[in-house]
Amino acid sequence: MNHKIGSLLGIIGPTIGYVAIAVSIAFSPWFRWERHALSDLGHAMRSDVAAIFNLGLLLTGLLILIYAVTVFRKHAPYTSFFLATVGFSLQLVATYDEVYGLLHTVVSILFFASLGFASLVYAAETKSYLAVAAFLVGSLSWALYGAKIYSAGVAVPETISTVAAVMWIMYSAAKLYRGK
């Protein structure tokens, strides 16, 4: 794969996901950050925007997976395995939406755990302070949520942890695009 096109997948993929989430929230007046999970938007039986939300996650997962096993693999071979796991597990989150109950919970945990682990591996492999910061910010958001330090829906730590990790993913893609 052409390295410029492959690198763009690391930018376009997450962008598609966030656009799908934003559109889904915009068309879901019932959604409340203080009460919901992002996955509530993808519930096939309860959400009118489930198709938009889940398609966005599927496409994001696919593009991250392709980015991980092509261009990114040459840059960070160890991390590429874990980033591919992130992409695949995100596709599982979309496929097994909340209708699937416990299965959805399991694949969601797999996604967020693999995202944190990929951040750690990338930090170690490339000496990336951005990945260290992403891991710390994401972990702290989950720890504070779990300890009930703040009152919010699970959508808050979901968003904080993914935005933090996406920063190093998109930064790596931009660096690879520029040939650095």
- DSSP percent split of the chain into helix, strand, coil, nearest 5: 80, 0, 20
Residues 6+ apart with CB under 8 A from 60: 13, 14, 16, 17, 20, 87, 90
> What single-letter amino acid sits at 141?
S
pLDDT at position 165 is 98
C-beta separation of 59 from 51 below 8 A = no
CA nearest to 173, candidates 71, 43, 25, 65: 71
Q: What is the mean pLDDT of the chain?
A: 97
pLDDT at position 3 is 87
pLDDT at position 17 is 98
Please give the average per-residue pLDDT across 87-97, as a whole number: 97
- Give yes or no for residue 180 having a pLDDT over 80: no
The angle subtended at Cα 63 by Cα 172 and Cα 95, nearest 5°, is 130
What angle separates helix 77-95 from helix 50-69, to the nearest 10 degrees?
160
DSSP at 150: S
Domain enclosing residue 97, as ranges: 3-177
Give percent of the chain above pLDDT 70: 100
Please give the average per-residue pLDDT across 146-151, as a whole number: 92
C-beta separation of 132 from 139 below 8 A = no
pLDDT at position 1 is 76
Tens digits of per-residue pLDDT, 35-86? 999 999 999 999 999 999 999 999 999 999 999 999 999 999 999 999 999 9
Domains: count for the chain: 1
C-beta separation of 9 from 169 below 8 A = no
Chain-centroid distance, C-alpha 76: 18
DSSP at 148: T
Give percent of the chain above pLDDT 90: 96
C-beta separation of 41 from 31 below 8 A = yes
Length of the chain: 180
pLDDT at position 27 is 98
Q: Report the Cα–Cα distance between both ends of the chain, in Å, rounded.
A: 17
Tens digits of per-residue pLDDT, 104-119? 999 999 999 999 999 9
